[in-house]
Structure 1
């Protein structure tokens, strides 16, 4: 064979090898990128080959934790319970579903505090809350940073785990056939699963994040009082924040007017060096852009340095358990408040150069579902100045029902002198170890108008925290008898200066018939108007 033929043969062989290699590479690439459309090759037995099953990941076990008391939510009221229990030697853990702690106080910036006083004007605020209210009244605690410093001091040494997601609540049958929570599993921000067991659990959110997952009985709400078909809660609030206000001129010029002129121009109310209350004639002159929002009379406080924060802007039909409903309400507020500012600039002396000072991170939620507790507070308890053997708070405040879409101004159902709040109104019915804090207090929708106020439930929470520490597992809350309470009340008085016994209030329904009291509690009688007729 000539060299030419040998060369041609070698070249042909080389091209053949290249082609084979290309086919092999194409086939391998196709297999790596996914299965082909062709059926799998038959096995020796003639059946189709089964693909190897994907490996099942091994579940990562939850991190186990224990505590004496677990508080779900970081609202201020429940933090008093956490502080008191920790000071009494109990291990306390706070888990919060919100991204940041502080709830209504810090995230909602509800920095206008309502004091509780009896009908003679005597201050009823007791316990650790008194430092906060004294500081607010005196002007030392007015700005968000000052409230934050107070809150941080309150929970010092008590961990708050924010941004968690509740995964599972494990309940068992407790004493007397009642249920008891044994553990709660939650997921942290970093994705890790944690399971915590505890002796007591505290519902301390403004939308019953824990209690709503339990076997609860919802009590009738304001929808029954107003004759509505759908559930509706008291209006939510969005705090209005302003800066560059000349409060001195506002105060001076308002009070330079005669009473008649003030009434004509502002609709009454009062202004002093720190507060502006009412002025509902001026606020009523503002026409909202839609029927879901409303500007009522002012609760305004000067925060110093030209900064002012106001509780007066209401948003109706907000469901605090629905994040979309809350976000929608926040958007409504952010659109309406700049228009309200323009109205204030035109209507109020010293406000001509006022500007927006930002928006809060969250709403001021007044109300959510009321769940049945061992004892449900009634209107007659408040107006009748009733005291209980198991008092955990001495309360006071008008029966103030804030507006709903059915009654935008709301209504006052009477003004109690003072009354007791029993432990049983904070114990979830049919559960051995679930405590309801703050806005979750067990009360009728009408009695809630007074019971909901912060100093009332803050004192109750602190007292319960102290009592848990005193019991230290030797006896459960439910095992307490009437004869156990004098020693507990004495301890609260001697160590914490909290007085819960020997208090007598003015019974404003003395001599009423059982039928009158029934109608009062059901809302068929509105006390202010009825009592005048009764006389």
Structure 2
């Protein structure tokens, strides 16, 4: 009986082990299976695979990604993207009118073209009678420049500090994304912007209005807005190219008094031979293109044109005359390459000045700017796009935000290194609509981003023109806050707003008339003027015959 019981126990144990092995096999297959059993099986016949023969590799279920907490949100009335001078006037005016304003700058350092590019030679705007057109806060800057009180970088920095006083500024931000919604007046509006700060922290900000105030469309470039034709259409180029960028040339140990006196004492014939047309007074040296034209650049991407030179006192001089072609302002490498070209070429130009100009015998380099002077980037369509005929025709608008002037000065490109002047307006108006990005409810275009054709941009781009416009828009934003939106402002609303600008800010935008230089022209002539088929300075001479 004992042997029989023992055999029975052993048999039962073997059966139990076999059953356990079968169960273990099935559990392991199911753990590694990627598809349910009624799916197409590894056998290829749609049946159930034998768990004893098919054992897919087991893989652990992926762990769910931890959810990133939403970034902290800040709410303001106006966000200005970039710290170029023109948009800062809008920020200052809006803040003074009681709005909550913030500046977010993608550049690492503050001040754009003026402070980082050290473009410290200011172009004034004047009419045909040489009357000053500069108005608003910009007048303090331009008056200070003209009378010699604001000439050095430190003096410009103090002016910028006053302009941005108590307005929060974040430098070196990176835009991560935009939250868009259907617009009330057009297809879209911006609700919020998500960005990473210089400290690496992600943040979110909401605003009623967004201001594009960079020289490379940091905000609008993310909206996929179509680019309008540029100068390449005028010059017949197949590739996109912008007006040349500038690199300001800085010198010290210049004897300006000697430069001025000896230049002006030179007999007229000798002066023309040595210097070409130009002038030198106690502050400025203009053109001398005969002298600059004798300089032979070491690289075909750079060029020395006529001088815009200003004495900064104490033997220091800064000059706007050195051009660099085919620069893409939105490409960091393109900027860096251009800066390297400039740092190589400017010492060679200094040697040419030492040999060619009295008072420059002991001149030395006075360092280099941190950045380029960017003249132009893409043009984007606004509610109204300014045309050359608006400018030469002295057109004024019911929604004027600036009274502007300046030649239609197209700086050189690689296709036309000297550039070309397309005409000299007396004065003209700039409408609010030329600063409102088309199809976006709440995007304002400041400074170089003004809505104009590539040819009209030659005049529109000048700082006093768009600085006054930006300040006027900032004031208007404060006045309509809580009542209506910018695109709800109608012709009937503007007299009160213009009156407020005149009484409180001494900005006169109405009752101004200019000399219409295309009076009597046909529609066909005007159309050709706007496309560039007619170059005004040449055509007007033929038309008079």
Q: Report the TM-score, using the length of structure 1 for normalisation.
A: 0.91
Aligned to 2:78: 69
Which residue among 514, 531, 542 is the counterpart of 1:533?
542
Instruction: Output the CA distance in 1 between the equivalents of 2:139 and 2:160.
Output: 13
Aligned to 1:232: 241
Instruction: Output the CA distance in 2 between the equivalents of 1:143 and 1:473.
Output: 42
Aligned to 1:319: 328
Instruction: Output the CA distance in 2 between the equivalents of 1:199 and 1:261.
Output: 62
Instruction: Output the CA distance in 2 between the equivalents of 1:257 and 1:247.
Output: 16
Instruction: Output the CA distance in 1 between the equivalents of 2:25 and 2:141.
Output: 80
Aligned to 1:360: 369
Q: Does 1:204 align with 2:213?
A: yes
Instruction: Output the CA distance in 2 between the equivalents of 1:84 and 1:137.
Output: 24
- The range that moved more, 177-186 or 434-443, is 177-186
Q: Does 1:339 align with 2:344?
A: no
Q: Does 1:418 align with 2:427?
A: yes
Q: Are the aligned partners of 1:398 and 1:412 in contact in 2 as well (CA < 8 Å)?
A: yes
Aligned to 2:196: 187
Aligned to 1:27: none
Aligned to 1:296: 305
* Post-superposition offset of 1:258: 1.9
* Post-superposition offset of 1:57: 3.6
* Post-superposition offset of 1:177: 4.3
Which deviations, in whole Å up to 9, do the C-alpha atoms of 1:183-228 show, x marking residues without a partner? 0000001111110000000000001110111142311110000000
* Post-superposition offset of 1:300: 0.3
Aligned to 1:99: 108
* Post-superposition offset of 1:334: 0.4
Q: Does 1:446 align with 2:462?
A: no
Which residue among 241, 255, 263 is the counterpart of 2:250?
241
Return 5+ residue gaps in structure 1 as ranges: 1-41
Q: Does 1:305 align with 2:314?
A: yes
Q: Report the TM-score, using the length of structure 2 for normalisation.
A: 0.89
Q: Are the aligned partners of 2:186 and 2:440 in contact in 1 as well (CA < 8 Å)?
A: no
Instruction: Output the CA distance in 1 between the equivalents of 2:403 and 2:25.
Output: 84
Larger radius of gyration: 2
Q: Does 1:399 align with 2:414?
A: no
Instruction: Output the CA distance in 1 between the equivalents of 2:377 and 2:478.
Output: 29
Secondary structure (helix, strand or coil) at the match of 2:478 reads helix
Q: Are the aligned partners of 1:43 and 1:49 in contact in 2 as well (CA < 8 Å)?
A: no
- C-alpha RMSD of the superposition: 1.3
Q: Does 1:330 align with 2:350?
A: no
Q: CA 1:43–1:249 in 2, change beyond 3 Å: closer, same or farther? A: farther
Aligned to 2:164: 155
Q: Are the aligned partners of 1:172 and 1:182 in contact in 2 as well (CA < 8 Å)?
A: yes
Aligned to 2:388: 379
Q: Does 1:489 align with 2:498?
A: yes
Q: Are the aligned partners of 2:185 and 2:487 in contact in 1 as well (CA < 8 Å)?
A: no
Instruction: Output the CA distance in 2 between the equivalents of 1:432 and 1:177.
Output: 6
Moved over 3 A (4+): 42-58
Which residue among 139, 142, 163 is the counterpart of 1:130?
139
Instruction: Output the CA distance in 2 between the equivalents of 1:398 and 1:58.
Output: 57
Q: Are the aligned partners of 2:396 and 2:428 in contact in 1 as well (CA < 8 Å)?
A: yes
Secondary structure (helix, strand or coil) at the match of 2:190 reads strand
Secondary structure (helix, strand or coil) at the match of 1:175 reads coil
